[in-house]
Chain A
Amino acid sequence: MKATTEFLSWLEYDIEGFVSRVTSQDVKRVLRKDSLTPEDFLCLLSPAAEGFLEEMAILSQKITAHHFGRAILLFAPLYIADYCQNQCVYCGFRAQNRFPRTKLSLEEIRKNGEVLSEKGFRHILLLTGDAPSITPVDFLEEVLSLLSPMFDSLAVEVYPLSEEEYLRLRRVGLDGLTIYQETYDREVYDEVHPAGPKKDYLWRLGTPERGALAGLRWITIGALYGLANPLHDAFWTGMHLLTLKKYYPSVEWGLSLPRMNPAEGDFVPTYHLSDKKFVQFLFAFRIFFPTAGITLSTRERPQMRDILLPLGVTKVSAESHTEVGGYAAQNHHIPQFEVADNRSVEEMIAVIRSKGFEPVFKDWVGVL
């Protein structure tokens, strides 16, 4: 676990000390550089860069066009179960929230798959709550085997698995993984995960590396902004990605910047990542990681998604239902979080086209 071990030393880095010394002159210099250091990245995340959003947007747009062209990949999330044994204090699926839990049958999953396929989706992200006893790897294996012939790319956003388990799923069609550390701040992590398997910070931290070792091709990481100091989480996300890229250069690495949304329950986020900072962070990530995929979630409202589409984003989910099996049946399951962008896939296609971009549904070959 070379990358995970190497990353840990970044947790000792004096972020605040560095940021307190950064000036707008430093930001100007960084924006003219070809190749950036971790300190340059932190400079772009810092308050000193707040006055350079337009310059950062232009650079971000240019870099994205060079590496990804004018194309945006559309994918659909599919929630297959909302059972959860964790106590994440910020999440609608957490164990002590009392609501009828659901797990889709294979037949229901097939129906949801057919609906998504009919809508044109070729890339699917499968999600579950964190309940290995109810959605064990055997079940995930069956689900992937069922959906694999229907789609070109299948990714999971489920509880952290071992390398062997990812390998098992890879053999039945899994090629992507999304795993958020939630927060890299160890103290806050401990507070917001008071019990359950998720309490193990290091096990979660090593997840993307285990996925890479198992040969997964697309891996997306990130923090959930609002739990801890956003600047710290953004910097540590960057350093996590940097160390992972160093040891696993063949993976198509990606990141996402989910922000806290109202979920079931009464959690009030400690921090708020403002729209301005969110946009600044997104550009800083793009400028520091020119080749990383950046996913924009339906947590963001339409206006924000539309403005950001041409400025650094490479993937968006569309027509997201964050309640279990929300595609094939009208149901009243509790969603994991509130979707701010409810637009249909046809509407998203029209928006992407209007920005001068090609909506892409397929960017993979199933045989790999």
Chain B
Amino acid sequence: MTLTDALRSATSALAGNAKQASMLSRNVAGVGDPNYVRRDAVVSTQLYGAIKVDIQRNVQLSLYNSSIASNANAANAITVKNGIDQLVYSIGIDDFANSPASMLGDLKEAVELAAAAPSNPSTSSALIERGRTFATSLNDLYSQVLSGRADADKEIASSVDKLNSLLGQLETINEQIVKGTKSQQDVLDSIDIRDGILEQMSHEVGLKIVPRADNDIMVLTSNGLMMFETTARDISFQPTASFGANTTGNSLYIDGVAASGDEPWLPVTTGRLGGAFKVRDEILVSQQNQLDEIARSVIDLFGEEDQVNGVKPKLAGMFTWDGGPAVPTAGVLEPGIAASIRINELIDPQSGGDSALIRDGGINGDADYIYNTTGGGGYSDHLYALASSFDDTTSFAPLAGLPTSQSLTDFAASSLDWLNASRQAAHNDANYQSELSLQYNNAFQSEMGANLDAEMSKLLEVERAYQASAKLLSTIDEMYTVLFNAMRA
């Protein structure tokens, strides 16, 4: 081995040490970045004693994919949970005081009180006020459900905007990576940035990331719709400004393919996007239908029947709606009736009505509908019959998603139970999925991230090696000096 060989070895070692030091400082700089993947140095010996240092970015794909998938699941569960929570807060979180079930109980109680003191005008006006509270709270709840759907629609739109902007960034950075890889430049930092973008996208929708040659990637939704391949694909969604009883909301299109709606080829069910669709099109629609059924059934319950021949149609009683004085068809969903239910003006003292008509019947002015035929002020049978019909089995539209044959009281109770069961499930799911997502992300960050202490101790090592190599160089230099001096002498 010659002195020149020694010099070459020492020089390449010095260069290798410098490269390692720069890598370590990059790692130290990335200590606070959750998406940073630690670089590792692979040191190998070449021919003639040269040292080669390769910088690698080793991602454990299984950990990475689990982490990305868990992000989508957690975001999905949390979106659903928030949608339901909003609804439950509006009915009263502790005692459900604003829930139709509770209001219906109060209404029944007021009917019983009016029946217990039938000739007392203050009990019948108390009943009317109770009825008014019931109707307005149902109206309020209904408009909250509709605005909840509008909120979910906005959330879809904002999620789509975010995805589109992220896809735009992805297109730019991916192009740089592919070009850089082909021209053998260091693209590791760009890959970090790209992973950061993908991580953000993974909260919006479940991703399937397909790696290709030259560090190129292809990104699909987890159910196989193309979002990115060399160029970003268009994700389009037309938001709806306000929701009415019959509004369905627009579909989502990814790369021109319907990804939601009635008959989508591949509906998106993952991520925030899928969660918002579930809230807008399933949970709140069920709740909306249930409120409509409660309103329809209450109008029907208080409706008056022909007492003489029993042939005339049932007419609206204490409660009426936009289609009044007719009573809505039993067991058929009447969209929007929960928004239009109100106290019948004919019995409302505030509108010049006669509150005693609740006790006697014949609210609509037709004498055939009068229950209290003798006109006695102590007549309570009709009111007692109304109170007990709260517990009579009747039929409900299957669209409400609850048992179709049960009493109004039970229906309102099962609506509340359905809501709370959904909320309980959504909370459990959200807790579990976010815990899981935290664990995966933590495992990934823990395994892939940089540890300050480790990096610093490696730096010490590199420092020593650098000192040694430098010492070697100066020694060789001295040897050369001695040699050349000897030659000159």
On whether the two chains bind one another, the answer is no
